[in-house]
Each structure stands twice: as C-alpha cells, then as structure tokens.
C-alpha cells in the first residue's frame, strides 16, 4: 500500500502521516494480483484515518484483512515533548534557589549536631 499525495494535516498543520499497514493480503486470481495499491491521502486532516474498507481494490480483488484496520492516519505534532524540554531547565534552577537560601541562612542543624558529639 502506497500513499499518494501529501496530507493537508501534514502540509498545513505540521502533523505526521502514520503508515500503519504496509501490505494487504489479497484473494484473487494470479493474473489480478496488484503490484501496488495507491491511496490518495491528500485530503487527510489531523485526526483523520483511512481504514482497509476505504481502499478501492481492483476488480476481482478482495482482502482478508479486518475492514476496520487502520492503514494511514494523520497525528498532531508532538508539542508536549518540546514543552517538557523547556520546563526541564527550570526545575534545577528552583532547586538551586533553595540551596542558596539554605546557605545564606546558615546550617543551624549542622551546628547543633556538632554540639551533641
């Protein structure tokens, strides 16, 4: 199964085209076996999918696959990972601030432990 065109969700919204099912098992006469099945994905937006049942098979060709199996889908861009990376440097800074405050205040716990010995 081959994608034909570029999905709208990829082109304009920055999504990714996921190609889940690369081959279809077909039932047909040997002379009718297709070399490839081209599927137009240019109309797909983010969140859209193409199932096996949506693929037009040549005359005399059937498939054994589940009709609900996903062949292509367009997923949104991975913005969460970018946000996580930006947030990561902030966390150590907060920890440093706490350490700096502890150093400015002194370590009374350390002094009292020294007196106990």
pLDDT tens-digit profile of 19-51?
999 999 999 999 999 999 999 999 999 999 999
Task: List, in order, residues 6 or more apart from 72 with CB less than 8 Å away.
Answer: 3, 7, 17, 18, 19, 20, 39, 41, 44, 49, 50
pLDDT at position 63 over 80: yes
Q: Are residues 66 and 89 in the same domain?
A: no
Q: What is the CATH number of the domain that holds 8?
A: 2.170.120.20
Mean pLDDT of 11-20: 92
* Mean pLDDT, residues 56-70 taken together: 93
pLDDT tens digits for 67-112?
A: 999 999 999 988 655 455 555 555 555 555 555 555 566 655 555 5
Domain count along the chain: 2
Clarify whether residues 68 and 88 are in a common domain: no
Domain limits for position 107 = 79-116
Q: Is the pTM of this model over 0.85?
A: no
């Amino acid at each position: 199964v081959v994608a034909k065109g570029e999905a709208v969700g990829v082109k304009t919204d920055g999504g990714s085209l996921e190609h889940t099912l690369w081959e279809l098992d077909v039932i047909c006469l040997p002379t009718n076996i297709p070399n490839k099945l081209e599927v137009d994905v240019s109309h797909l937006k983010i969140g859209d999918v193409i199932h096996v049942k949506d693929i037009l098979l040549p005359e005399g060709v059937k498939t054994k696959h589940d009709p609900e199996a996903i062949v292509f889908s367009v997923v949104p861009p991975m913005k969460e990972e970018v946000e996580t990376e930006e947030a990561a440097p902030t966390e150590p800074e907060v920890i440093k601030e706490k350490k700096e405050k502890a150093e400015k205040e002194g370590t009374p716990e350390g002094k009292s432990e020294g007196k106990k010995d």
